[in-house]
């Protein structure tokens, strides 16, 4: 399975932007996804990640214009490991 050494979410907190960027420090990936969850743990959005066998940073842009203000969680799941990061939207 894929290996991730880090998960960075920006801007955080979100004040003016309609795009949330997620940067992954990637060794390799396979059957991975990024999920955006609300404070109750409900999945708001799921983005599957394609296979990538090179060592590189991967940046995913997530449109958030339709989301309400509040706290959310970004969850990266690669079938073996889970990384999470709290996100606050306050526009």
Q: Is 65 exposed, middle or buried (0-12, 13-18, 19+ CB in 10 A)?
A: exposed
Model pLDDT for residues 11-37, shown as the tens digit of each residue = 999 998 899 999 987 655 556 889 999
Q: pTM of whole model > 0.95? A: no
Report pLDDT for 51. 59
Domain 3-89 has CATH 2.60.40.1180: no
Model pLDDT for residues 44-71, shown as the tens digit of each residue = 999 988 755 556 678 899 999 999 999 9
Q: How far apart are CA 35 and CA 38, in angstroms?
A: 10
* Domain boundaries, given as residue ranges, for the chain: 3-89
Report pLDDT for 31. 67
Report pLDDT for 33. 86
């Amino acid at each position: 399975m894929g290996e991730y050494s880090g998960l960075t979410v920006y801007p955080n907190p979100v004040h003016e932007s309609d795009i949330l960027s997620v940067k992954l420090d990637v060794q390799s990936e396979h059957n991975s996804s990024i999920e955006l969850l609300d404070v109750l743990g409900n999945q708001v959005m799921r983005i599957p990640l394609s296979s990538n066998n090179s060592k590189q940073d991967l940046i995913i842009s997530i449109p958030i214009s339709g989301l309400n203000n509040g706290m959310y969680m970004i969850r990266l799941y690669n079938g073996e490991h889970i990384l999470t990061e709290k996100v606050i939207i306050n526009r």
